[in-house]
Amino acid sequence: MSKKNKEELIPKVLTEKTIPLYDGLISCPIDAPRRRTLDAFQKKIGVTFNRIEILNIALTHSSYSRSYGKVFNDNEKLEYMGDAVLELASSTYIFKKFPSLSEGDLTKLRASVVCQATLAKIARRLKIGDKLLFDYGEESTGGSDRDSNLEDAFESIIGAIYLDLGWDAAKNFVFIQLAPEFKNLTDENISDELPKIIRKNLSDYKSNLQEFLMKDNPNVKIEYVELNSSGPPHMPTFEYAVKIDDKIFGKGTGNSKKLAEQMAAKKALQKLENQLKKSEEN
């Protein structure tokens, strides 16, 4: 179907009632029940938006806006902003909470905790999936409980808070949501607990990658290969790549071979999920 024909199918009333915001963002229309949902949600998360329409955009999946010819924004641009804000805010939180950790250990801790599984868990705790707008296809195939959708929506909410209310509000929101993930961890015990945290939170990337690939191709070939190793024996650094049917899809580094493999699998998963999202949009 041509772009023109798609646009002809868009209800004229919907196009006329879209809501322009700042920074070129446009929200879809918000009826009274939707506004009540958004208002209850902002109270739940302890944030009062100047323009609640930006929260509506943060909770609009790309499938929904695509079904209306993209005449309003979905949450992808806010996710881009929220991802950057989350990285800085989470880095600030960890830096302040664990002053004894080295730069390398701070990076490992952030990577192992501030990951898709954790962000999806936080999103479930906030019941974000119930508030997301999807088209029928995405909704009927479990889109409201899919980790990638929940992670994206959580990051989009952070982006919305930042754009509407500024850095301090966004930082405080991130601090509050991350705090339960660091319960019982102190600067005194973090050095002992860090290896266990990394093993726990990074243990599933390889199995998740295998499950993702074998769903469509049971005979897919997955191979992990060492690219490089450096550093002294007591503090080595390994670089690994994951090959899928002999093509490199992700590279990762770590102070053990297992950790480097997990990080490579994480990169590959992110790449494949982004490719899938783009193909669904076309």
CA dihedral 150, 156, 158, 161 (to 10 degrees): -140
246 is an active site residue: no
**Active-site option among 83, 87, 139, 147:** 83
**Active-site option among 74, 79, 152, 155:** 155
83 is an active site residue: yes
Q: Which residues are catalytic?
A: 83, 155
